[in-house]
C-alpha cells in the first residue's frame, strides 16, 4: 500500500503543481484576452471590486487641492477672477457667433443635401489615475457605463482631443490617449483640407502623420483638426499642430511630427462626448471589423491608411 502522510500534515498539491496550474490559467487568459477578447465579463466584475480603491487613491490629490485652495491669497483670487471674466466675455461673443454660424451652416448643408452634423452631448469626468503600464498610454476616468459612457466615445479637454474610451466598465472607464502607439485618429489640415491619419508616437508624447507622400503640402505650424469622416470623432475638434516635417529623398513618405493641441498627458478634468454610431453610413462589408480592430491591430490599420 502506498504511503501517505497523516491528514494533519497535508498541505494540498505541491508548489510546482500549483505553479503549473496558475501559469497555465494565466496563459490561457492572456491568449483569450489578446486574441479573442472573451474576458470582458470577468474584467468588468473585477473592475467593480477595484473601484473603491481607485476612488480612494484619487482622494489625496483632491485633498491637497482643497487644502491648497483654502490657503490661496485673496489678491491671487481677484486676479484670477478678472482674468476669467475677460475670458468669459470673449467666449460668450464666440458662442453667439457660433450659434448663427451653425444655423447658417446647417441651412447650407440642407441645401446641398448633406446630412446634418452630429449633435454633441458631453459628460464631464475626472481622471482618477494614469494606467501603471510603461508600454501604453492610458488613463482611468471616474465615469462609466452607468453615466452613459460607451467604448469608442471621444474624450476632449478644453483645448482639444485627448483620446478615446477603449473600455467602459460600470463606474469607471479606460481612455487610450492619442499618444499611445496603437491609437489612430483621422485628421484634416485646416489650411488646405488635406486628410491624413495621425498615430501616437509613444514615449515622446507626440503624434505622427504616417504615409504622407514626401511632397505632401504640409508645413510647420499647420493646425490639424478631426476630419469627422470616420463617424467616431465629430468634425472640427483641434488635434495637433505640425511641429517638424522631414522630407528625405530616400523614402517615399515624409516624416511629420505633431504636437498635440490638448494637454494629453496633463490636466485632470475631461469631457466624454457621446458619439452616435450609425449616423454616418460606413461602407457595408468591413466596417464593423475595422471598428473593432482599431486599437488592437495597427498593422491592418496602416494598410488601410495607405489605400
Establish if 140 lies at the interface with other proteins (CB under 8 A). yes
> In whole angstroms, how close is the CB of 35 to other proteins at the nearest point?
10
Establish if 49 lies at the interface with other proteins (CB under 8 A). yes
Window of 54-62, 104-112, 225-233, 279-287 that interacts with other proteins by CB under 8 A = 54-62
Establish if 138 lies at the interface with other proteins (CB under 8 A). yes
Q: What b/e readout covers 138-158, taking b as 16+ CB neighbours within 10 angstroms?
A: bbbbbbbeebebeebbbbbbe
CA 218, CA 256: separation in Å to the nearest integer?
A: 9
Binding to other proteins by CB under 8 A, coded x per residue (else -) over 87-126, reads ----------------------------------------
> In whole angstroms, how close is the CB of 227 to other proteins at the nearest point?
27
Quick one: DSSP state of residue 142?
S
Select from 133, 189, 186 the least CA-distant residue to 164. Answer: 186
Establish if 19 lies at the interface with other proteins (CB under 8 A). yes
CA distances (Å), 280 to each of 34, 93, 170, in order?
29, 31, 27
Residue 278 half-sphere exposure, CB side, CA atoms within 13 Å? 2
Applying CB under 8 A, the residues found at the interface with other proteins are: 11, 15-16, 18-19, 21-23, 25-30, 32-34, 39, 42-43, 46-47, 49-50, 53-54, 56-58, 60-61, 127-136, 138, 140, 166-167, 174, 181, 202-203
Amino acid at each position: 500500500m502506498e504511503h501517505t502522510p497523516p491528514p494533519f500534515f497535508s498541505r494540498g498539491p505541491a508548489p510546482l503543481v500549483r505553479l503549473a496550474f496558475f501559469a497555465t490559467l494565466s496563459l490561457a487568459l492572456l491568449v483569450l484576452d489578446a486574441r479573442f477578447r472573451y474576458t470582458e465579463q470577468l474584467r468588468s466584475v473585477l473592475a467593480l471590486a477595484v473601484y473603491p480603491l481607485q476612488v480612494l487613491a484619487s482622494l489625496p490629490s483632491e485633498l491637497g487641492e482643497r487644502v491648497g485652495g483654502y490657503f490661496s491669497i485673496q489678491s491671487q483670487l481677484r486676479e484670477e477672477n478678472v482674468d476669467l471674466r475677460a475670458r468669459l466675455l470673449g467666449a460668450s461673443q464666440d458662442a453667439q457667433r457660433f450659434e448663427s454660424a451653425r444655423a447658417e451652416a446647417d441651412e447650407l448643408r440642407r441645401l446641398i443635401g448633406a446630412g446634418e452634423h452630429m449633435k454633441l452631448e458631453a459628460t464631464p469626468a475626472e481622471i482618477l489615475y494614469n494606467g501603471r503600464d510603461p508600454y501604453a498610454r492610458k488613463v482611468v476616468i471616474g465615469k462609466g457605463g452607468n453615466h452613459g459612457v460607451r467604448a469608442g466615445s471621444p474624450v476632449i479637454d478644453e483645448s482639444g482631443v485627448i483620446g478615446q474610451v477603449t473600455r467602459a466598465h460600470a463606474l469607471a472607464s479606460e481612455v487610450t490617449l492619442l499618444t499611445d502607439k496603437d491609437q489612430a485618429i483621422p485628421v484634416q489640415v485646416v489650411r488646405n483640407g488635406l486628410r491624413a491619419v495621425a498615430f501616437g508616437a509613444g514615449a515622446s508624447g507626440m503624434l505622427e502623420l504616417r504615409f504622407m507622400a514626401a511632397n505632401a503640402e504640409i508645413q510647420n505650424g499647420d493646425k490639424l483638426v478631426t476630419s469627422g469622416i470616420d463617424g467616431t470623432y465629430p468634425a472640427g475638434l483641434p488635434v495637433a499642430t505640425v511641429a517638424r516635417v522631414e522630407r528625405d529623398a530616400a523614402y517615399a513618405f515624409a516624416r511629420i511630427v505633431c504636437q498635440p493641441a490638448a494637454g494629453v498627458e496633463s490636466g485632470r478634468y475631461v469631457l466624454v462626448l457621446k458619439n452616435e454610431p450609425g449616423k454616418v453610413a460606413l461602407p457595408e462589408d468591413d466596417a464593423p471589423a475595422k471598428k473593432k480592430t482599431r486599437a488592437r491591430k495597427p498593422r491592418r490599420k496602416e494598410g488601410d491608411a495607405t489605400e
